[in-house]
Amino acid sequence: MINSIHLKSYNPPAIEGVWILEPGKDGKRSIGISGVVDGALFVRIAFLLGLPKTLFFRAS
Task: Tell me if 22 sits within 8 A of 28, measured CB to CB.
Answer: yes
What does the angle CA 31 – CA 33 – CA 36 come to, to the nearest 5 degrees? 165
pLDDT tens column, 15-53: 888 899 988 888 998 888 777 777 778 788 888 888 876
pTM for the model: 0.44
Nearest CA among 45, 48, 57, 49 for reference residue 1: 45
Judge whether residue 60 has pLDDT over 60.
no
- Strand, coil or helix: 54: helix
